[in-house]
Structure formats: C-alpha cells, structure tokens
A and B are shown apart, each in its own frame.
Chain A
Amino acid sequence: MKQDLFKKLQQITDQNIADIEDHKKSGNHAIGFYCLYAPTELAAAADAIPLPLCGTRQDPIEVAEQTLPRNLCPLIKSSFGFAAAGTCPFFSFSDMIVADTTCDGKKKMFEIMSDIKPVHVLQLPQQQNFDLFLDSWKNEIENLKTVIENMTGKKITNEKISGAIRLLNLERKAKKRLMDVTKAKPSPLTGMELLTILFKTGFFADKQKGIDLMNEIADVCNALADKGESPFHTNTPRILLTGVPTGVGSDKVVKILEESGANVVAFENCSGYKQAFQVDETKDPVLALAEQYLAIPCSVMSPNQGRFDLLEEMIREFSVDGVVDLTWQACHTYNVEAYKIQDFVNERFNLPYLHIETDYSESDTEQLRVRIEAFLEMI
C-alpha cells in the first residue's frame, strides 16, 4: 500500500515541471525562496508559485567553488552552484529570488547571485524581541509585498493574503499530520521515507495536490501503525535529528543512522518540524505573518529559546531515545549552539547526544559510521 503512494508521489513529481510550465505560460509568475523565514504567502497572494530552490546536493559544489571560498557551508555552495550552472529547474523557472540574512555567508553569496537573477534580500532581525524588532520586520514584509506587486503587476490585497494564509496553513497542517505519523511506536515510516516525501512535496507547484497527497500518506501510515505494521521493532532506537536542514542528497547522516539500526522519527529543523506552525487567521494578515515568521527558532536568533522549547516538546512527543545534532561545515551559529543543546539534552532528558559537523561529500562516511554506531551503542 505504501508502495502505491510512493509511485503516486513520483508521478506527481514528474508532472510537476509540466504544471509549472503551464502556469507560467498562462502569464503567471514563479518566485524562488531559500529560507523558511520568507513568507511564501505573499507569492501565493500574487498568483505566483512559491518555489523552494535546490541546494542539498554535492554535484554543483565544484562549479560554486570557482567563485566561492572552499571552506564555506555546503548548503550555500550547493545553492549557488545550482544557480551558476543553471541545473536547478526551479531556479530557472523563478522570475525573482527571495533571499534572507540568516547568515553572513548566505548574505554575501546573494550579492554575487544577483548578477544571475533579481534577488530581493529580507533583512531579518536577529532577536525575537517583538517590542524592538517586530515593526522593522513587518516593514520588510511590506517591502517584499511591494516588490512582488511590481514584478507580477498584481495588487496584493489583504483579502488575497488572508486566502494565501488559509491555503498555506492547510499545507502546514497536512505536513504536521504527516510528520506526526512517526509518533507511533514502532513508526510506520523510515526517516529516509519521511524525508523524501517532505522534500518532494515541497516542490509541488499545485499546493492542493501536495496537501491531498500528504493527507493520503498520513491516513495510510496511521492505518499501518494501528495494525502495528512497521519496518522496525518496538525496541528500535528512535532518533531525533536537530540542527541544519537536510534534503535528498544531503541525507547521509539519516542514511547511516538507519543502516546502523535506528529509526529517525523526528526532524527538528527547518526542512522538518520548524514548519509545523499556523499563522493566525484572525489578525491583520501582514502583522500575523510578521509575528509567526519572526518566531521561527533558527540559530541565527540570539538567544534562541524557541529551539529549546521545540526540542523539549518533540523529545517527549516522539518518545525519542537519542538526539543527533547536525551542523554543516562552517555554520557557526548551529556549531556554537551545539554546546548548549548538548547540555540541555544530557541534563534535562538524560539522553545520549551526538554532534556531527560535516558537509555533503562522502569523504567522511566511514568515520561518521564509527561515531554513529558508537552513539547507538550508548542507547
């Protein structure tokens, strides 16, 4: 039954490029987004497809390194490499790129990227103190609205934004339902399966198709879980992965964990559970967007209490046996924050914790295997 769903996922993925082409042929736009902080609602409100962009694979890094420093984060190098080599269809479809200042490497890279395509950079506050920063962040969102209006030639009314919020809330709700199926013990999905579904549905141009498919997969998985059907046992170590985003191509740590006998049941990162929020549908829509997006607990925020709160909730709800904290090489904020996360996991929950700093290449696979196996031996 699960196989049929994966077949369907593949079909919709194949159809997706054609869907985007059709949409663009009918005079509509597509806008590329790099970061969870960028409110995709504003694109949807202008009938533009919000597209996540490629940046989780190793192959374009070689091209990127002709321009960017070698000891930079692989996510930045991969994103730039895809853009420079012209190998990301979603980048090619995008009429403009919405970027962000979540780290110094990205922000300077975007200056170079703007030679390839129009890039609008959101100036993100680095503290979630609403009294001090909500106004300026709301301003950034208003500015983005104007930029999108000018580019698309479409007026973005409050009504349109409210409609987009409702639609994307439904998408996030479906995504949360899907991510929650692994709360079952044993879980009906492998971490790699969950990651693949989340990754692929993220690129769907037709939001409703994605929402329906995620709900369908969640229904099937919940039914499997009720019958106790699972690739795992009740004593399979349940791992929570936190830290930097992971996607297809940057999944080696998830793979090694599951090859070594664990099940990655939860992804506390911006490609995972950080997306499980709802924007308030009752407030002024721009204010509601500003509040909810500013509350995302990325390590760029200082302090970043939200990540600890989210981890606490997830460690309990997913009944995890260990926490793996992943940092991409040169991501200083996640790398430094790991110190406090380790204390938090060890002291508060008395759970084993493993911090891994790596990149997308396979060069350290065997060293990682030793550490990951040793970590699982501790459980």
Chain B
Amino acid sequence: MLSAGIDIGSRSIECAVLENGKIRETRKADTGFDPAGQAKQLIKGLEFDVILATGYGRNLFEIEHDAPTITEIKAHARGAFYFFPGILTVLDIGGQDSKVMKLSESGKVIKFEMNDRCAAGTGKFLEIMAKTLGFTIENFGNAAGAAKKDLKISSMCTVFAESEVTSLVAKGENTKEIARGLHTAVVKRAVSMLNRVSPEGPVVFTGGVANNPFIIDLLSQISKREIFVPDKPEMNGAVGAALLAMEN
C-alpha cells in the first residue's frame, strides 16, 4: 500500500510517500503565497493510494482533494514515534510555531503546548535575524558556533529582537557573538516549554530548525537531555501524516 502525507506549513510544504510503512519518496517546496497551488504542484505525478493532510494549509487541501486531515501536533508525534519508537517527548520547531508534545507509552499525545500568535523563537525568527546580521540561514548556525561567547539577547519578539540586534551591531559588537546569543535565546525558550510539558527523558527534535547543528548542541547542553534528530527532520510531519493515512 502506498500512503502519502502532506504537511502544508507556513514556510514550506513537505510530502512523503510510504510503501507499506517504509519511506519511498519525499518532496519539498516553498509555501509562498499560494499554498493550495503549490501543494497541487508538489503532488503532481505522485503515486499513492491514500493521502492525509496536516499543517496550516490542511483545510485548503481537504476541500480541494477531499482528503482527511489531522493537526501537525498529532502528525509530528506520530512521525517522531516512527523514527524513535518509545520516545515520550517531542520538540518541533517549524517556520512559524514551536511545540512540545508529551506522549504516552503507546505514542498517543497526552499533553502539548504551542507558542501563541507570534513567531518568537521559531524558524522565521532565525531567518530574519540571520538576514539582519548578513548570514545565510544555512551558515547561521556555524557562524554562531564559531563564537567564543554569547552576547545576551533579552527580546524574543522578532521585531524587538531586530531592534536589539541592530543596536548591538551599531555598537560594533561581533556579529558571530550576537548570532550565538540569538541561538541561545531560542534554545532557552524551547527548553522552558519542554520542561513545562515533559520535564525529563530524551527528546526527539523535529522541524526545519532541527537542521541547524548548533541549535542541537545548545539544546542538549542547556536541557541536559539526550536529543535525537531524524534524518530530514523537516519531513517528520509529512511522514507522520502518511503513517496516519495508512492507519486510518
């Protein structure tokens, strides 16, 4: 059986096809301003028997393709449990949201928390900060990792943090140290959410931000917990959706 999952997020769309529960193909595109159109493009020519949608654009997809939907919370939990069976805590930092899920021994979500409204401490936040400091998002983590010390950043609101960073740059501070401070701030925020929802045990870290190796390092240092990251962590939601499509 071929089951597909499509995760229509705020920044990117991921699609995964599983053949009898094994990953056969993954695809990715930017969401842009036309999520429905982009999603349609992405699944063009794709073979599958069932498909299930998750992410912000799930309802658009549901209407156009008559597909069932689930929330990204359930999708990420299912994906993380697939890659790391028995895991009880999942942290997902995506484009616009960060969330923590606590799972039962059978992988069911029993508690979760999600940031509200703004993109504080998410992928979008890091993107904007990288740009402000003149780094690409791909080398932002490495630049931060190369700094010897943190420059403390107090603000997590994207707009306020941008002003704070601009003032530090104007004072002639080292941009790598500022970058490191920003990474630390993001991780501290994630750890406090993590500890509130599920205070102990190893963590599966998913979402696009989990591609940043320095964030992973900081996360394990600051949380003092074991961190597992799946291959292509941004695919986790789509894989979870594909699994749920099969199990439905």
Contact = CB atoms under 8 A, between A and B. Distances in A.
Interface of A: 346, 352, 357-358, 363-364, 366-367, 370-371, 373-374, 377-378
A377 B72 contact: no
A288 to B, nearest CB: 43
B117 interface: yes
A368 to B, nearest CB: 9
B205 interface: no
B180 interface: no
B56 A366 contact: yes
Interface string B44-56: 0000000000001
Interface string B73-105: 110000000000000000000000100000000
B110 A378 contact: yes
A363 B118 CA distance: 10
B108 A378 contact: yes
Contacts of B114: 367, 370-371, 374
Interface residues of B, number: 15
Chain A contact residues: helix, strand, loop or mixed: helix
Contacts of A370: 56, 71-73, 97, 114
A377 B70 contact: yes
A361 to B, nearest CB: 10
B116 A367 contact: yes
Contacts of B61: none
15 contacts: A352-B110, A364-B117, A367-B97, A367-B117, A370-B71, A370-B73, A370-B97, A371-B73, A373-B71, A374-B71, A374-B73, A374-B109, A377-B71, A377-B73, A378-B108
A364 B72 CA distance: 16
Contact of B74 (A358, A367, A377): A377
Contacts of B109: 374, 377-378
A373 B110 CA distance: 13
B112 interface: yes
Given A374-B73, A378-B108, A364 B116 contact: yes
